[in-house]
Amino acid sequence: MIDVEDLVALVHNYNPRSNADLIRRAYAYGKQMHEGQKRHSGDDYFTHPVAVAAILTEQRLDDATIVTALLHDTIEDTKSTYTEVQRLFGDEVAELVDGVTKLTNLQLSSAESKQAENFRKLFMAMSKDLRVILVKLADRLHNMRTIKSMRAEKQAQKARETMEIFAPLAGRMGMQWMRDELEDLSFRVLNPDARNSIIRRFITLQRETGDVVHKITADIRNELEKARIEADVYGRAKKPYSIWRKMQEKDLAFSSLSDIYGFRVITATETDCYRVLGVIHQRWRAVPGRFKDYISQPKSNGYRSIHTTVSGRDGKRVEVQIRTRQMHEVAEAGVAAHWSYREGERAHNPFAVDPARWIAGITERLDEDDHDDFMENVKLEMYTDQVFCFTPKGDVIQMPRGATPLDYAYAIHTRIGNSCVSAKIDGIRVPLWTRLKNGQSVEIITAEGQRPQASWIDIVTTGRAKAAIRRSLREEDRGRFVKLGQELARAAFDHVGRKATDKALRTAAKMLGLVDETDLLAQLGSAELTARKVIETLYPELATSQAAEVDAQRPVVGLPPTQTYNRARCCQPVPGERIVGITYRGQGVVVHAIDCPALEEFEEQPTRWVDLHWQAGRHAAVHTVSLNLTISNDAGVLGHICTLIGGQKANISDLHFVDRKPDYYRLLVDVDLRDLEHLHAVMTALEAETDVAQISRQRDLSKKP
C-alpha cells in the first residue's frame, strides 16, 4: 500500500500548491474508519481507497477528488456520516463522497426497468458533478484489477456490468485508455480461453516476424527526421479484446486481421500534425476509407486527432494517430482534462470540453423516454462513433456513425423529424435510409400533415429519433385504437341488450384496474383486452348465456322458422352489427347492415322491412367479409399476411389480385369470421404490420342481393 507521504508526493508532482495537510488528514481518517476491515484477498480494506486515489493522480486531478477517493467508502461501509465528513473536510468533499456512495448503491445490472431508473440516477449524479463518476470509474478499475479474489459468479457479474456500462461510459467520456483496460480485464473473466488464444497467437507472430512495433516506430521516426519534424512516436499492439471484437464483427480469423498494431505521433503544433500526415502518406500507401480528421471536426467529448491507416512494413496495415501534446492530454483524460493541474495551476487546455455542456447532451432526454427507450438511448449513445455533417447554412451537426437523414432531422428538432418527407445530400435527393458520411451537407424537406411511419423505427439509429418516433406512433395509435374500441364495445353491449354508456365503461375500467374508460377503449381497440372480458366483468350472469354456441343455420332472430334468408353481398353484415331485413320476391329475406347505403332505395317501401337482430352467444366463423389490402411487393410478404390472418383463427376463403405495381400489390381477401369483434381483431393485426400500407372493409354496391 502507498503510504501517505508517497501519495502527497504524487499529487505534489503535478500540483505543488496542493493542500498536503488536507490529504494527510483524509488519509488518517480513512485508515481509522476502515480499521479492522479486510478485502476478499485478505488485504487491509484501506489499500483499496488508497489505490483509487493513486489512479486519479495519474489524471492529475484536484485535491477534492483525491480526498474523495480516500473517503469514498467511509459513509457506506463505516460508522462515518455525511455530517462528520462535512465538518472535517468541507461541503465540496462531503457532496462528492455522498455522490459516490449513492452510485455504489445502484444495482446497475438488475432487471431492465430498474436498471433504466438506476441509469437515470447515474446520469443525474454525473450532471451535478462529473468528478463523482471519475472516482467511481477509478474504483471500478481497481476492483477489476483485483477481481481474482472474488467468487466466480461474483466475478462474472462484475465483469458483465463493467463491459456493458463502465467501459463504454469511460470511452464516451474520452478516457479510451481506461475503456481498453476495463474491457480487457472483463474479457479475461468472461472469456479467458479466447483471450489466451489471442495472446498465444501474438507470441507466435512476434517469434516469426520479430518486434514489428519497434521496426515500424523506427521507420516513422526516420521519415520525420528527414522532414525535420520534431515529434514523439509510440507504438503498441492492440488489446486482446479489441482484436477479438474485430474478429467477431468481421467474421475473420486472426491470420486475416490487418491493423492489429497502433501508433501515435505527438507533435508540438497543429500545423505539424498535417505535415506528419503528408510524410506518412508519401512514404506508405493510405488505405481508402480509413481516414478521419477529428482535429477539424472534434468529437463531443473534446477528442481531437488525425487517424489514418496505411500499408506499412511487409504490407501490414497499421493505424497511425497524429495529435499535439495538448490534444493528447485530452485524448488520455477525456472530459476529466477539465480538472487537470499542472505546476499548481488548473491546466487551461483549449481542447478540454466543458463538462456541464457535455453532460447536458447526455441527460437532456432523461424525463421524456420510457424505460425501454431510455435504455436503448443510453446504450446507443455510449457505443457510437461520430460523423459530422453540415446544415445548408454551414453549421456542423454531430451524428453517430450509421446515422441517416431521419436521425439528422430529429437531431435538429423533433418537429423537423416528425414532418420529414425527404432529404437531399450535397444537393441530390436521396432515400431516408441513406447512411450519412463525414463532410456531407444535408437538407431536410418537410411537409405539413406528415406523420412518422412505423417503418421509420428500422431506418433510424439514434436513441433520440427512435424515442420520438415511438412516442408519436403511440399517440396516433391510441387515437385510432380508442375509435376501434368504441365500436367493439358498442357491438358487445348490443349483444347482451345493454348500452355502452360512459358510466358503464368507467365502472368496467375501475373493476379491471385500468386508469379510465379511455384506457379501456384503447386496450379494446389494440386487442390487449377483449370485449367479452368487459362483459364478463360487468355482467357475469349474461356472460354465461353468451358462452353458448349459436346455431350456424339460424343465427338471426326475427324470422319465422321456415323463412329463408341471405346476407347482403354489398355490406356483408356480421354478428355484432345492427341489422335489418329486406324481403325479395322469390329470394326470401336479405339481411343488411343498418348503415348500408343500398337501403336508401327501399325508404319508400316500409312493408318490405323486417326488424332483425343477431342471436346472443358465440357464433361460428362462417360469415365471409371482403378486405381490401394494399401490401408491399416484397418476397414473403403475402405469406406473412396469410399467416397473420390464420394467427387470428380466421380462414381465407378466397383471394383476388386487383392491381399489381412494382412496389405494391392491391388485393381482395375473403375471410370467414365469427363476429364484429373477430373482424376488428383481424384488421388491427394487419393494420399494425409495416408491410400493409392500407386496409379497409370492402363494400360494393354493385353486388346486388
| Active-site residue list | 76-77
Give the rounded distance of the alpha carbon of 73 from its chain centre. 33
Cβ neighbours, 10 Å, residue 507 = 15
- Distance (Å, whole) CA 118 – CA 103: 9
| Best CA proximity match to 336, nearest among 363, 302, 361, 306 | 302
Q: List the grid coordinates of 327.
A: 490534444
Dihedral angle computed from the Cα positions of residues 388, 390, 394 and 397, in that order, rounded to the nearest 10 degrees: -60
Q: List the grid coordinates of 145.
A: 484489477
DSSP 282: H
Cβ neighbours, 10 Å, residue 545 = 11
Give the rounded distance of the alpha carbon of 48 from its chain centre. 35
| Best CA proximity match to 379, nearest among 579, 115, 562, 674 | 115
DSSP 72: T
The bridge status of strand 565-567 relative to strand 588-593 is: parallel
Strands (E), 395-441: 396-400, 420-425, 428-430
Contact 682, 650 (CB under 8 A): yes
User: Among all chains, which residue has been given the C-alpha cell 373493476?
Assistant: 511
String of DSSP letters for 334-383:
GGGGGG-EETTEE---TTPPPHHHHHHHHHTTTTTS-HHHHHHHHHHHHH
For residue 175, give every residue at least 6 positions away whose Cβ sits within 8 Å of its Cβ, in sequence order, or none.
137, 332, 333, 334, 335, 336
- Distance (Å, whole) CA 295 – CA 272: 12
Type of residue numbered 143: N
Contact 562, 695 (CB under 8 A): no
For residue 647, give every residue at least 6 positions away whose Cβ sits within 8 Å of its Cβ, in sequence order, or none.
685
- Distance (Å, whole) CA 404 – CA 132: 35
Q: List the grid coordinates of 705.
A: 342481393
Longest CA–CA separation in the chain, Å:
112
